[in-house]
Amino acid sequence: MKTAPLMRAMSQMGGFEQVLVHTGQHYDRAMSDVFFEELGLPEPDAYLSVGSGTHAEQTARAMQAFEPVLLQFAPDVIVVVGDVNSTLACAIVATKLGVKIAHVEAGLRSFDRTMPEEINRILTDQIADYLFTPSRDGDVNLQKEGIDPKRVFFVGNVMIDTLIRLLPKTNPERATAAVGVKPHDFALATLHRPSNVDDPDTLTQIMKAMAEVAKKRPVVFPVHPRTRARIDDLGLASLSGDVKLVEPAGYLDFLALESVASIVMTDSGGVQEETAYLGVPCLTLRPNTERPVTIESGMNRLVASKASDIVSAVNTMVAQGKAKHTIPELWDGHTSERIAKILLEQ
């Protein structure tokens, strides 16, 4: 969702020779190939097949596999997005080979270093040459960390470029019918972060909360493969009650469901951003967020991963309905164009 609009903007602007590297960190068919198809991404020029594993294993494999690719293509700059292990891995390889790094989605901070993504964000920003921030708080965070302001560019949110372009292509009626719910009369859930999924007590609390919420309104839960494995290992499927545990959705189907949900329960950063733009109430099952702008928009609220707290917060937010919200600055669908222009002029 972040790479597709960038490649599109650079192709339309001209002056770029692009090489697409798929690290393979997101290796499940439903979590990867379908997104390439729906987003109109070309076939990757290189596929690293990083796969799953511990943080150390993923990072090391990505570094080993990326180095020969970087030497082969010898680019002027690599563009890394987000905060996953391959973001940091590829940035480290590039900086040691003297290749410039552009970090898209720079400057986001949860201030919680127990989150692996926080470490990836901090370290990538320290070595990046171009830091493209999605919100003003990112600029402030980077300034406090001593990053040269000349390397920082506030450009807006590239994820919203994709949302704005593809929202008209979604079919909410078909997507809701496929999972047996009605538009504006269901809750949508996503869950994948280790802090929620890997702790048996926390995951149990969340599953109990979803089951309780489902007594009043349908809960649609497209289950991430990692989460599905934990639910099965812990025997928690029996706790799900009337929750609809469905297969992971492609981008268009998920966006369709998201746009007509009564409320979204998530631990995903991207979903927080999308709901903030769409004006859909979002309950983030985390004690903190690296995207405080989504809370400032009026659509997002943090809640502890405790069953009673989650159920209470869902009831409150659904009762309030779609509150008046503010779309964050420069979330206008033109972020990729701004990034491409900056890179072309450097």
Per-residue pLDDT tens over the stretch 67-81: 999 999 999 999 999
Q: How many domains does the chain have?
A: 2
Asked if 248 and 341 sit in the same domain, the reply is no
What pLDDT does residue 75 have? Answer: 98
What pLDDT does residue 26 have? Answer: 61
Asked if 145 and 260 sit in the same domain, the reply is no
Asked if 222 and 147 sit in the same domain, the reply is no
State how far the alpha carbon of 301 is from the alpha carbons of 14, 152, 266, in Å: 41, 28, 11
Query: Does 287 fall in a domain?
Result: yes
Q: Confirm if 318 and 217 have CB atoms less than 8 A apart.
A: yes
What pLDDT does residue 33 have? Answer: 77
Query: Does 164 fall in a domain?
Result: no
**3-class SS at 21?**
strand
For position 116, which CATH number holds? 3.40.50.2000
Asked if 294 and 198 sit in the same domain, the reply is yes
**Burial 210-228, CB ≥16 within 10 A → b, else e:** bbbbbeebbbbbbbbbbbb
Angle between the N-to-C axes of helices 158-166 and 251-259, in degrees from 0 to 180, rounded to the nearest 10: 80
Query: Does 325 fall in a domain?
Result: no
Query: Does 251 fall in a domain?
Result: yes
Angle between the N-to-C axes of helices 335-345 and 3-13, in degrees from 0 to 180, rounded to the nearest 10: 60
Which pTM value belongs to this model? 0.94
Beta-carbon neighbour count of residue 145 at 10 Å?
Answer: 12
Asked if 95 and 116 sit in the same domain, the reply is yes
Mean pLDDT by 10 residues, the chain (346 residues): 97 97 72 83 94 92 97 98 96 98 98 95 98 98 98 98 98 98 97 91 96 96 90 89 92 97 96 96 97 95 96 93 85 98 95
How far is the C-alpha of 105 from the C-alpha of 335, rounded, in Å?
A: 11
Asked if 151 and 182 sit in the same domain, the reply is no
Query: Does 27 fall in a domain?
Result: yes
Query: Does 26 fall in a domain?
Result: yes
Query: Does 163 fall in a domain?
Result: no
State how far the alpha carbon of 302 is from the alpha carbons of 36, 107, 179, 228, 254, in Å: 31, 20, 27, 24, 22
Which helix (H) or strand (E) element contains residue 214? none
Domain span including residue 263: 171-320
What pLDDT does residue 30 have? Answer: 53
Asked if 183 and 129 sit in the same domain, the reply is no
For CA atoms 253, 257, 260, 264, the dihedral sign is negative
Asked if 27 and 58 sit in the same domain, the reply is yes
What pLDDT does residue 28 have? Answer: 59
Query: Does 166 fall in a domain?
Result: no
Q: Confirm if 174 and 153 have CB atoms less than 8 A apart.
A: no
**Burial 244-270, CB ≥16 within 10 A → b, else e:** bbeebbbbbbbbbbbbbbbbbbbbbbb
What pLDDT does residue 335 have? Answer: 98
Which helix (H) or strand (E) element contains residue 226? helix 225-234
Which helix (H) or strand (E) element contains residue 244? strand 244-246
Asked if 201 and 294 sit in the same domain, the reply is yes
Which residues are the active-site residues?
Answer: 192
Asked if 115 and 187 sit in the same domain, the reply is no
Asked if 234 and 296 sit in the same domain, the reply is yes
For CA atoms 311, 314, 318, 320, the dihedral sign is positive
Asked if 201 and 280 sit in the same domain, the reply is yes
DSSP conformation class of 40: T
DSSP conformation class of 206: H
